[in-house]
Amino acid sequence: MVLTRFDLAKYPFVLDAAEEVRRLDLDIGNLENPALKAILDRAENRIEEALRNSPPEVSYRPREEDVEIPSFPVAVILAAASGNDYIKRRYALAEAIRAYKLLQDEDEKKVLEIAKVFNWNIQNVKKIIGHRRYDFALSFTDFLRNAKLFHEMEWKLVNRMLVKGKVYLRQREAARLLQEEIRRRIEERLRSDVRSMLPEPVLRRIDDLKRKYASRIAKAQFQDFPRQVVNEAFPPCIRMLYDAAKSGQHVSHLGRFTLTSFLINIGMKPEKVVDLFRSSSDFNVRIARYQVEHIAGQRGSRTRYKPPRCETLKTHGLCPGPDDLCKTIRRPLSYYGKKTRTLKKEVSAN
């Protein structure tokens, strides 16, 4: 089955964006060309919809293929040129959610076509196993790549029907997993720096958009952690590990990882974290520095590690028992975020 222009308007990300721009003779440097105004307007509008709608979602406009298809790669260029992480993330998510909604009611064969674009190992099945009807069977590795960060218990592999390497899914679930794949693909495309290639009037459009939604963007960034480390806002698990490390008590490997990644993520300097472990009986400054810097993403894979989820900490006996705030979160870092915000409010109320 081939995807028609009608389909491409729904799922424009399956096309190679650069290729599409070239094919339409869309010159990035010449976006102010009046003939292309409709496309440019819709591109800007796609981003605006992402910023305005909550949850973020770009609208679907049927029977406007001539604008819908090319406006997507142009919007990607505009969002990339914004140079703002919040706009980029929000836009990628909005396009992905749009696709998710469309895929839920899509012809199953078309869903398979889209999945193929991402090299999924997936088949159409019509099966009732036990209590449920399933539409697709997806290889467990493709499943894990996309579902591993979902919180809900129903997305844990252990709670899925897994048979001979295949996870059974309903169409809505397959669409949800594709949403993740699509979001990542768009985010990747947004990484390139295209600002210098764009003409002044186009750049002005982007800056206007940024100005118009400045308060939203600022609010999103405000949700970051305070600059100073706030010890009083540590969750019980981190408090326990922190005290143990400070007093030189034995802390398990995973415990050290949890504590280190937590402190790095709330903005503690790696040297300070290394110092924390100095009273440990097996302290070795070279090894400790290496490990801390590795977790901070300054070495090795270059990814900054996040502390494990509460569920994982429970599995490994590192959760000393949740307090009331713990019951509202799933990760130690969210606890810290919430707590610092309430502490801040208390301070300003005093």
Partner 1 sequence: MDTKSFIQKRFSEFYREKASDIEAPRLIEQREFGFLLFKGNVMVRHKSFGTVEALRSFVKQIVPAHAYYSTAYYEAPEEKMENKGWLGADLYFDIDADHIPTECGKIHDRWKCKTCGFTGKGVTPETCPMCGGKTFENKTWPCEVCLESAKSEMVKLVDILVEEFGFSPDEVEVSFSGHRGYHVHVENEVVKELDSVARKEIVDYITGVGLEAALHGVGTRSHVTSSGSSGRGFDNIGWRGRISRGAYKVLSAATEEDLKNLGLKEKAVEKILSNKELILKTWERSGPWQPIGGLSKDALQAIINRAVQNESAKIDTVVTTDIHRLIRLPNSLHGKTGWLKVVFPTSEIERFDPLKNAVAFKKGEAKVYVDEAPRFRLGEELFGPFKHEKVELPMAAAVFLLCKGAAELVE
Task: List residues binding partner 1 (CB under 8 A).
Answer: 128-132, 139-141, 144-145, 147-149, 153-154, 156-166, 249-250, 253-254, 290, 294, 299-301, 311-312, 315-316
**CA 260 from centroid of its chain's CA atoms:** 22
What are the structure tokens assigned to 290, written together? Answer: 């290496």
Q: How far is the CB of 152 from partner 1 (least distance, A)?
A: 10
Q: How far is the CB of 164 from partner 1 (least distance, A)?
A: 4
Taking the least distance from each CB to partner 1, the nearer of 279 and 342 is: 279
Q: How far is the CB of 146 from partner 1 (least distance, A)?
A: 10
Strand order from edge to edge, sheet including 122-129: 122-129, 132-139, 166-169, 162-163
Q: How far is the CB of 138 from partner 1 (least distance, A)?
A: 12
Residue bearing tokens 């007093």: 247
Q: How far is the CB of 192 from partner 1 (least distance, A)?
A: 24
Taking the least distance from each CB to partner 1, the nearer of 221 and 249 is: 249
Spatial neighbors of 117 by CB under 8 A, at least 6 apart, are 14
The CA-atom distances, in angstroms, between 165 and each of 116, 157, 175, 177, 298 are 18, 11, 20, 17, 36
The DSSP symbol for 239 reads: H
How many Cβ atoms from other residues are within 10 Å of residue 113's Cβ?
Answer: 17
Taking the least distance from each CB to partner 1, the nearer of 161 and 203 is: 161
Query: With contact defined as beta carbons under 8 Å apart, do 43 and 75 qualify?
Result: yes
Question: In this structure, what is the dihedral angle of CA atoms 115, 121, 125, 130, given to the nearest 10 degrees?
Answer: -120
Q: How far is the CB of 57 from partner 1 (least distance, A)?
A: 27
Query: With contact defined as beta carbons under 8 Å apart, do 307 and 331 qualify?
Result: yes
Taking the least distance from each CB to partner 1, the nearer of 72 and 277 is: 277
Q: How far is the CB of 264 from partner 1 (least distance, A)?
A: 16
Taking the least distance from each CB to partner 1, the nearer of 116 and 299 is: 299
Quote the CA–CA distance of 67 and 161 in Å, as a whole number: 42
Taking the least distance from each CB to partner 1, the nearer of 3 and 161 is: 161
Taking the least distance from each CB to partner 1, the nearer of 219 and 316 is: 316
Backbone angles phi, psi at 273, to 5 degrees: -65, -45
